[in-house]
Amino acid sequence: MAATTSRTLELLSLLQSHRHWSARELTGRLGVSDRTLRRDVERLRELGYGIESLRGSAGGYRLEAGTGLPPLLLSDDEGVAIALGLRSQATAGLRGAEHTTLSALAKIEQVLPPALRRRIEALQSHTAVGAGGAWNRSGRPTPEVDTELLGVLALACRDSERLRFRYTDATGAASARIVEPYRLVPVARRWYLLAWDRERLDWRTFRLDRISEVFSTRVRFEPQEMTEESARERVERAVRHRRRSIRARVVVELSQAELVEHLGWYGREVEAVDASHCAWPIEAESVEALGVALIWLPAGVAYRIEGSPELREFLVVQAERFSAVARASAPTR
C-alpha cells in the first residue's frame, strides 16, 4: 500500500508539473503498465482531482482546470490564502524566488474553481503591496502587472506553447506578435518576457505592462536549451540597451553583510571590498534617481562615489542649494 500511495503521489506531481502527458510518457516515468496507470488515475479522481483522458494519436492525461481544490490537501480558505500570498510575492519581483513562486502559483491556480478565483481577485484588488513593491528607485510608482497575465505567461513558458498578443513599445506604436515564450524575468521592479519572435526570427524582450490581448494558440514548440542565468543576461542586456543609463559605484564603510541587511532586495549586487568596506553599484535613467538611492544608505555611515562625474556634479549643486535654503529658513530672534 505504501508503494502504491507513493506512486500515486508521483503521478499527481507529474500531472501538476505539465499540462499534458501521453500514456506512454507516464508509464515510462512511473515504470508501470497501462492498466496500473489507469487504476492510479481512478484513485486520484476518487480523491477529488479532475483528470481528463484524451484519446487518439495525441491521447493521454491532463489535470482539469476549475474542478475545485482536492479536499484532502487544502480547504477553500487555505487555497485562497496561499494563492493570494503567491500572487503578491510574484508581483513584488523578489529576486531569487520568482521562478519557484510562479511555478507554485501556476499549480494552485490551475485547479481553482471560478468561485475561489473571484474571491482572490476581490481580495487582491483591496490589498496593498507590501515592502515598497510598487515603487521604483526614482520614487515613481512602477506600472502594475496583471496577475492573471502573469499566470498565463508562466503556464505558456512552462508548457512551451506559442502565444499571440499585441505589444505597445516605448514610442506608443502597437504591433501583433507571435512568439515562443521562454522565461519571465524581473529587472528593476518590472517584469519582462523573454521570447523567440517567429516573424523577426530573433530574441525579443517584452515588458509585461505593455502586453495585451494574449491568445493561447495550443501549438507546442521544441524549446532551445537556456539556463536561468543566460535568460537574465539577455533581458538585462536588452533593457540596458534601450535606455540611457547613468551608473555609479558607491563605496560604503560597512561590511557587505551589514549593507545587504539594510538595503534588502536593493542590495543584491553589493560586493565586498574588505572586511569593513563594500561597494554598491547603482544605475538609473537620471542623476536625480541616483541621488534618491543615496538617501537609502544608513545615517552616519561614511561613503564615497566612484565612476559618475554627473552624479558628483549634481550633488555639489544640490548641497549648495540645500545649504542656501537652510540659511534662509533659519529662525530669527
In tens, the pLDDT along 225-257 reads 877 777 777 887 777 665 556 788 999 999 999
Task: Using DSSP, state whether 204 is helix, strand or coil.
Answer: strand
Q: What is the pLDDT of residue 280?
A: 93
Q: Looking at 24-28, 37-41, 85-89, 245-249, which range is the least confident one?
A: 85-89
The Cα–Cα gap between 226 and 158 comes to: 13
CATH domain 2-63 topology: Arc Repressor Mutant, subunit A (1.10.10)
What 3-state class would DSSP assign to 270? coil
Q: How much is the average pLDDT of 81-85? A: 66
pLDDT at 128: 37
CATH T-level fold of 135-243 = SH3 type barrels. (2.30.30)
What are the CA-CA distances from residue 4 to residues 46, 87, 205 (Å)?
15, 34, 45
Buried b (16+ CB within 10 A) or exposed e, 137-162: bbeeebeebebebbbbbbbbbbbbbb
Q: What are the residue ranges spanned by the domains of the chain?
A: 2-63, 135-243, 246-328
CA distances from 129 to 145, 260, 298 (A): 12, 22, 24
Residue 123 has pLDDT above 60, yes or no: no
Residue 303: the pLDDT is 94
CATH class of domain segment(s) 246-328? alpha beta
Q: What string of DSSP letters covers 24-59?
A: HHHHHHHT--HHHHHHHHHHHHHTT--EEEE-STT-
pTM of the model: 0.44
| Residue 211: DSSP 8-state | E
At 250, list the grid cell. 558607491
